[in-house]
């Protein structure tokens, strides 16, 4: 989905919805009409994608001005005159109208070839984000919304959910606080932001290195060694993940692995540990100001588990259920170490190395050869065909739509049976200078029903950095890149499949836990022969798809030592959850105590401080590190229960599209999945599917 950063929730509240619609559309058409005359229109799509710096600034100005005007209008509604027509309907309408305009301002930061355009876009995004935060803190607007909520007018389930979400978001932004407490909250937020940046800056500024001889680096590939600088007769090894991970995987010298692991584990040092401890206390103060017992409960309240206690129970249960298989995996590693080094004591510095050795014994797979079967063009065409077949969709390429670069392709999406237009997606998958450097999905427009009865259709962009064709030959993708593309395109289909009334409930504006479940579910198709063959073909003869044996090896490689790998992730999630749900925790001591309990007796590597170099806890995933594991468990249950025995069953795919994807955020996500499964989700499918091939 969108890049891992604080999600922009465009909460727009307004009065006279019709006037707002006219005002915004006239304002925008003035700066883009000349382009629309030259390009093919996309029915139901209003976002513009090719603005100049001046147009971006002008549009941002108009969005902010019109929003302020309509907020003032809502605030002026007498409390005894509130109604659906003058409170809820205008809020929903403005959100639907503003979202594609906002995205027209901020998308260029990620895709434009012009530095001036990217700069203007970044400035606009900053201004708009600040504006929307202020909108959510307007007590006068909240008072009107709350008055309508208290009135108890019957407005239907989706409208009721929309109203409840609005009330809660205003309250979570401190609108109920006194003036003095509101100022205190703002100071806390500023202090937290400063410490977040300082924590990351300390990691980015870390430039230490080790000097190691070639003998100390025995086992490292020649390609790795030849790129290292020399100093004092030795090789200079920077302590970056780019260098550390290969050493921990390939270096035969146990003392070197330990030396490197310890040095890298001290990356943030005492400074970052102190920063994290301070951050945790400030977050607790922030949450208590808003009436929560602790920061974890504040962070988790809008997500699927709802409470920190539920998350802790989940993590402890899955850790316990993985213990048997993880112990068997650890025994294999101990045997390998005994044979190679003469002792069976496995430390944290040994895990990657011996897992890699075990993979070589247990998986017959040449990664370099596998790459030859994934030309970019074939992966894309096969992926599109499979999603069409599975979900009863039709993708038609549109040749003359306006785009921001000549390599971008545009597709309309149709229901295969009814021929209804469902939405659009843009494929911007090739690398170029100035472009955002990761694979992700960016929303351009949300699907929703407008007050005049027309429907805005969803639209999204798939961004990636695939290599371009060379001498007429399609470039090749590594298998992890294939999986990533597939995962992200699943978000595109999720977004386009939604059929909600309110823009706020569009698929990519869901709570984080639920948003990842469909994509993690669909990743399974990348490890099954019938579907993987559809996306593969030898680059010199595409009629020769990847072999069934290679497909099985890829799946086995994914699942090998799943217990131990997951245990490491669970450990960090537990630390994150405990420190954000408890007061005055000594983080270093907590990790030392938890480590051998979770990791089957393996102690924390002496001299390391994971809390000082784990940025997910410091910023971005604070108190919600559990989310990815949670989503994986739900995805595994859905796959095993509904798809595993018939991967291309269109009836099953269509039912999933209608029951799980279409509702978006208009219903409680746990309720959606429980209704679809016909029962509560279970850990067992995940445990069984991921550990069946783990040894």
Catalytic site residues?
488
Nearest one of 285, 319, 205 to 613, comparing CA atoms: 205
Nearest one of 419, 429, 413 to 496, comparing CA atoms: 413
DSSP state letters, 238-267: E-SHHHHHHHHHH---HHHHHHHHHHHTTS
Classified as helix, coil or strand, 205 is coil
Nearest one of 601, 606, 610, 605 to 575, comparing CA atoms: 610
Name the one residue in this structure whose structure tokens are 């590597």.
605
In sequence order, which residues have a C-beta less than 8 Å from that of residue 475 and are 6 or more positions away? 375, 376, 466, 467, 468, 469
Which tokens hold the place of 401? 């739509």
Q: What is the Cα–Cα distance from 456 to 96, expressed in whole angstroms?
A: 8
Q: Is 398 exposed, middle or buried (0-12, 13-18, 19+ CB in 10 A)?
A: middle
Which tokens hold the place of 111? 């895709």
Helix axes 587-598, 269-289, angle to 10 degrees: 100
In sequence order, which residues have a C-beta less than 8 Å from that of residue 250 and are 6 or more positions away? 219, 220, 221, 224, 353, 356
In sequence order, which residues have a C-beta less than 8 Å from that of residue 625 and are 6 or more positions away? 572, 573, 576, 577, 616, 617
Q: What is the Cα–Cα distance from 348 to 350, expressed in whole angstroms?
A: 5
Nearest one of 577, 571, 512 to 294, comparing CA atoms: 577
Q: Is 293 exposed, middle or buried (0-12, 13-18, 19+ CB in 10 A)?
A: middle
Q: How do strand 448-449 and strand 409-415 relate by DSSP bridges?
A: unpaired
In sequence order, which residues have a C-beta less than 8 Å from that of residue 658 and are 6 or more positions away? none
Nearest one of 478, 446, 467, 245 to 365, comparing CA atoms: 478
Cα–Cα–Cα angle for 57, 58, 64, nearest 5°? 90
Nearest one of 319, 276, 267 to 571, comparing CA atoms: 319
Which DSSP letter does residue 14 get?
Answer: -
Q: What is the Cα–Cα distance from 27 to 59, expressed in whole angstroms?
A: 7
Tell me which H or E stretch contains 340: helix 308-341
């Amino acid at each position: 989905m969108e890049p891992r950063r604080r999600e922009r929730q465009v909460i727009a509240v307004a009065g006279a919805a019709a006037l707002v619609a006219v005002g915004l559309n006239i304002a925008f058409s003035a700066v883009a009409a000349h382009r629309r005359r030259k390009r093919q229109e996309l029915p139901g799509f209003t976002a513009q994608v090719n603005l100049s710096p001046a147009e971006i600034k002008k549009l941002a100005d108009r969005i902010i001005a019109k929003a302020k005007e309509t907020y003032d209008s809502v605030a002026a509604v007498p409390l005894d005159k509130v109604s659906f027509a003058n409170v809820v309907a205008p809020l929903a309408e403005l959100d639907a109208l503003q979202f594609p305009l906002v995205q027209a301002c901020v998308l260029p930061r990620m895709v434009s070839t012009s530095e001036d355009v990217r700069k203007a876009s970044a400035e606009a995004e900053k201004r708009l984000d600040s504006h929307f935060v202020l909108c959510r803190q307007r007590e006068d607007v909240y008072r009107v919304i709350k008055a309508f909520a208290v009135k108890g007018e019957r407005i239907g389930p989706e409208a009721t959910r929309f109203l409840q979400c609005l009330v809660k978001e205003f309250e979570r932004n401190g609108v109920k606080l006194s003036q003095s407490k509101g100022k205190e909250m703002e100071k806390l937020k500023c202090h937290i932001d400063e410490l977040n940046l300082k924590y990351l800056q300390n990691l980015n500024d870390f430039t230490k290195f080790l000097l190691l001889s070639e003998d100390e680096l025995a086992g490292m590939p020649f390609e790795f060694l030849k790129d290292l600088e020399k100093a004092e007769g030795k090789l200079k090894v920077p302590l970056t993940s780019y260098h550390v991970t290969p050493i921990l995987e390939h270096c035969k010298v146990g003392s070197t692995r330990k030396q490197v692991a310890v040095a890298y584990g001290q990356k943030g040092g005492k400074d970052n540990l102190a920063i994290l401890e301070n951050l945790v206390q400030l977050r607790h103060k922030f949450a208590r100001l808003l009436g929560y017992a602790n920061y974890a409960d504040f962070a988790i309240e809008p997500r699927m588990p709802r409470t920190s206690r539920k998350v802790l129970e989940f993590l402890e249960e899955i850790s316990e259920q993985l213990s048997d298989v993880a112990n068997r995996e650890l025994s294999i590693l101990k045997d390998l170490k005994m044979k190679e080094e003469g002792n069976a004591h496995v430390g944290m510095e040994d895990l990657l190395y011996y897992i890699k050795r075990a993979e070589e014994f247990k998986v017959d797979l040449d990664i370099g050869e596998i790459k030859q079967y994934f030309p970019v063009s074939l992966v894309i065409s096969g992926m599109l065909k499979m999603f069409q077949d599975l979900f009863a969709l039709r993708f038609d390429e549109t040749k003359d739509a306006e785009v921001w670069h000549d390599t971008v392709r545009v597709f309309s999406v149709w229901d295969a049976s009814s021929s209804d237009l469902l939405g659009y997606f843009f494929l911007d998958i090739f690398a170029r200078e100035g472009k955002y450097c990761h694979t992700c999905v960016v929303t351009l427009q949300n699907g929703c029903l407008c007050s005049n009865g027309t429907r805005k259709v969803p639209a999204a962009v798939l961004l990636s950095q695939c290599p371009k064709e060379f001498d007429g030959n399609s470039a090749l993708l590594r298998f992890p890149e294939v999986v990533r593309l597939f995962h992200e395109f699943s978000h595109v289909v999720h977004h386009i499949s939604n059929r909600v009334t309110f823009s706020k409930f569009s698929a990519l504006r869901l709570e984080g836990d639920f948003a990842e479940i469909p994509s993690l579910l669909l990743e399974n198709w990348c490890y099954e022969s019938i579907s993987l063959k559809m996306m593969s073909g030898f680059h010199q003869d595409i009629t020769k798809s990847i072999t069934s044996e290679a497909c099985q090896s890829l799946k086995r490689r994914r699942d090998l030592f799943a217990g131990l790998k997951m245990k490491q992730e669970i450990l960090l999630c537990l630390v994150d959850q405990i420190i954000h749900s408890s007061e005055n925790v000594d983080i270093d001591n907590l990790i030392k105590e938890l480590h051998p309990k979770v990791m089957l007796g393996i102690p924390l590597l002496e001299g390391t401080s994971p809390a000082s170099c784990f940025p997910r806890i410091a910023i971005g995933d604070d108190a919600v590190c559990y989310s990815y594991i949670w989503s994986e468990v739900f995805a595994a249950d859905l796959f095993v229960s509904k798809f595993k025995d018939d991967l291309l069953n269109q009836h099953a795919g269509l039912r999933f599209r209608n029951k799980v994807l279409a509702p978006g955020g208009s219903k409680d996500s746990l309720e959606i999945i429980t209704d679809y499964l016909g029962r509560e989700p279970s850990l067992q499918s995940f445990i069984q599917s991921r550990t069946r091939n783990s040894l």
